Amino acid sequence: MFQVRVEDNFAAAHYLVNYHGKCENLHGHNYRVRVFAEGEKLDNGGMLLDFGILKNTLKKVLDKIDHSLLNENVNYKEPEPSAELISFHIYKSLMAELPDAPICRVEVFETEKNMAAYIPD
């Protein structure tokens, strides 16, 4: 099995509507995002997925939510801007751009120590 990973970051604000605690208040994060692709077959160039294509597509996806209030961003379609749903949003957005990409995991770090991931079935 082969695996590749790319990483990027974005900054955004959010508040959690259905949560009662500090995070229900408006606040922001400098998010770190890691995207993993996995598969058994390599292309003729010996690659699972070109790093450049995956990096550029991730940047395109993140640019649509960077420096925004996620709760009001028209590009963000999930019911809450939790780290879990942000990772799901990024996965869906990547798959819309790269439908054949073998993306197997999207991690979203709110802090250096706190991360949520979306792993498709």
Please report the domains of the chain, with CATH numbers, ordered by start residue: 2-48+61-118 (3.30.479.10)
Instruction: Please give the DSSP secondary-structure letter assigned to residue 21.
Output: S
Q: Give me the pLDDT at residue 58, please.
A: 98
pLDDT digits (tens, 9 = 90+) for 17-58: 999 999 999 999 999 999 999 999 999 999 999 999 999 999
Which residues are designated catalytic? Answer: 23, 67, 110
Q: Give me the pLDDT at residue 32, please.
A: 98
pLDDT digits (tens, 9 = 90+) for 88-98: 999 999 999 99
Q: Is 35 exposed, middle or buried (0-12, 13-18, 19+ CB in 10 A)?
A: buried
pLDDT digits (tens, 9 = 90+) for 69-114: 999 999 999 999 999 999 999 999 999 999 999 999 999 999 999 9
Model pTM greater than 0.85? yes
Q: Give me the pLDDT at residue 36, please.
A: 98
User: Any residues with CB less than 8 A from the CB of 51 and at least 6 apart, and which?
Assistant: 4, 6
